[in-house]
Amino acid sequence: MGILDSKAPSGPLADKWTNHKNKIDLVNPANKRNIDVIVVGTGLAGGSAAATLAELGYNVKTFCYQDSPRRAHSIAAQGGINASKNYQGDGDSNYRLFYDTVKGGDYRSREANVYRLAEVSGNIIDQCVAQGVPFAREYGGLLDNRSFGGVLVSRTFYAKGQTGQQLLLGAYSAMNRQIHRGKIESFNRHEMMDLVKIDGKARGIIARNLVTGEIERHSAHAVVLASGGYGNVFFLSTNAMGSNVMAAWRAHRRGAYFANPCFTQIHPTCIPVSGDHQSKLTLMSESLRNDGRIWVPKHKKDAEAIRNGQLKPTQLKEEDRDYYLERRYPAFGNLVPRDVASRASKERCDAGFGVNKTGEAVYLDFATAIIRYGTEKALTSGLKDADDDTIRQLGEEVVEAKYGNLFQMYEKIVDENPYKTPMKIYPAVHYTMGGLWVDYNLQTTIEGCYAAGEANFSDHGANRLGASALMQGLADGYFVLPYTIGDYLSKDIRTGKIPTDTAEFDAAEKEVRDRIEKLKAGKGTHSVDYYHKKLGKIMWNKCGMSRNAIELQEAIDEISALRADFWENVRVPGSPETKNQELEKAGRVADFLELGELFAKDALARNESCGGHFREEYQTPEGEALRDDENFKFVSAWEYKGEPKDAVLHKEDLVYENIELKTRSYK
């Protein structure tokens, strides 16, 4: 077992990033023109990194499996992006954002990285406003903010319920400028199949053209992986169906340590599962918890009547409703962090109070907000004696202005009007805090291989606060990586073009082709989705919202057996020399079958509960997560050794010099 060096600078917390930037090496603008960088993934982290690196003068190649960078999963982010600008005058600051993030992650994140994230957050908003991102504004024209879970201030900037889409269009426009300048060469509908190392350094990738099936070699002086998270290991998640772990896992197999794979977030506000034929789940933004109140019936007989269709939620009296988050956590109410809200929903449903046919749903109700907003709107409009219908109509108009597209999406999927009937929601797999281990410079344990955004582990600990994913992705891409990668590339100004006709590229391409042939060699008993669904059920049932030692060991054994059966019996029709989406899925599921086992191994090794990792053996009498700071205050970083069962654990000890570790309370 090794101890990892984060390379975090010494000195006062608030000075670390500034001093680090002042001391690292730079690359002369003339030399940048001779240096190539590959960026895999073109979401917020990859798109912003590619645009900024190209603007600085580097030659950039971007790769994404979608038909356009605009199709990256970042587009699905709804509620907002955090920044500590204190526009509301409610006491926010860089330190407060830093503290909330570390506390929200249950004290399992790296101090230096998180403070840097808070420090650059304000710059992100300025950058995006300059790009034309249409953030919501108050009446006076200033940018508006709303609240999100786990904090007591309003720091979330938003563009209705389309924040991710608007931010991605900003990064995409910045990319397009560089594409037209010839500084970015864009490879859409390409998938990274492997990482190429030469003399221990990342020097390129093997990619497959997903339209023609051609295997291609691409070289560079450094490789940036910004390929997102691995939530689809659960099959059903809020991720796009194509989201996968291949780029990160290929790097892991080449020597990049994989950190905290068991730290996965279950989002409390998703449309519940509707049946066995469903292929993904739909997120309803956490911003809805600003105004929506979460409840279940107070009495089981009422819950049973609702499930049987004998009672409507609107018929239930106020005194017969249990607003359980407000009851359990009065200080934060419906705005507790995601892991806390998710476990509370599961507890109520497991106790028999669920409100849909499966018993796995709770209500998110806007009736109170509609009346509150309607009353205020009537008064400000001079309607002092407005009747109930007018107040409701005015309130619905206000709610529509804030959340209209989310309500429309819900109604299209569920066929119920959420203005009139409470939404039904239930937790679902959403975001992964684990990822490739990176140091303070965002470099993995492979020299020249960097990871940004959700692909790395660095900022969120065991639980990500809402609206912080977009913040981290853009912080890494716009304001961190362009500085830190220069320190590494300054050693390459005399290297020259990296050739692709080398033994290392030959070997990597051969391994890719051999793997494709092996996938095609299965006996053809079952489809790829058959195995993906089986893996997803194991993960959800035994590695999901709660875990225990017995079931985690069962999961390890079952996934190992499933992986062996997959390679023996999977059916991959068609030819590899052409467009073949089943082949694409097969490669991704093969990696998920390895990751899933490492996920369970990591969860079994961490004998504590923290954030999204909830071990049933380690909880307080009230059912809250019980950390073990004496024995598990570290990052788990796993080294690949051929099989997940053989992975070797390395640790990065977490040092907290600026925060006192406390029992995480939101009461």
Helix (H) or strand (E) holding 375: helix 367-380
> What's the per-residue H, E or C state across 222-284?
EEEECCCCCHHHHCCCCCCCCCCCHHHHHHHHCCCCEECCCCEEEEEEECCCCCCCCCCCCEC
Are 560 and 596 contacting, i.e. CB atoms less than 8 angstroms apart? no
Residue 60 and residue 41: Cα distance in Å, rounded?
12
CA distance 211 to 586: 16
H/E stretch holding 215 reads: strand 215-219
The DSSP annotation for 399-448 comes to: HHHHHHHHHHHHHHHH-S-TTTSPEEEEEEEEEE--EE---TTSB-SSBT
For 37, the enclosing helix (H) or strand (E) is strand 36-40
Residue 74 sits at the vertex; the CA angle it makes with 68 and 79, to the nearest 5 degrees, is 140
Query: ∠249-214-255 over CA atoms, to 5°?
Result: 20
Buried b (16+ CB within 10 A) or exposed e, 48-77: bbbbbbbbbbbbbbbbbbbeebbbbbbbbb
Alpha helix stretches (DSSP H) within 24-147 = 29-32, 44-56, 94-104, 111-131
Question: Taking the CB of residue 553, how many other CB atoms lie within 10 A of it?
Answer: 14
What tokens does 566 get?
């997959």
Find out whether 571 and 591 touch, Cβ atoms under 8 Å: no
Task: Specify the DSSP element, H or E, that contains 180.
Answer: helix 163-181
**215-219 and 362-365 as β-strands: parallel, antiparallel, unpaired?**
unpaired
Alpha-carbon dihedral angle through residues 291, 292, 293, 296, given to the nearest 10 degrees: 180
Catalytic residues: 338
Residue with tokens 């808070």: 118
CA dist., res. 555 & res. 539, Å (int) = 7
Q: Token match 């940004």: residue?
A: 452
Query: Closest by alpha carbon to 250, among 227, 234, 231?
Result: 227
The total of other beta-carbon atoms located within 10 Å of residue 600's CB is 28
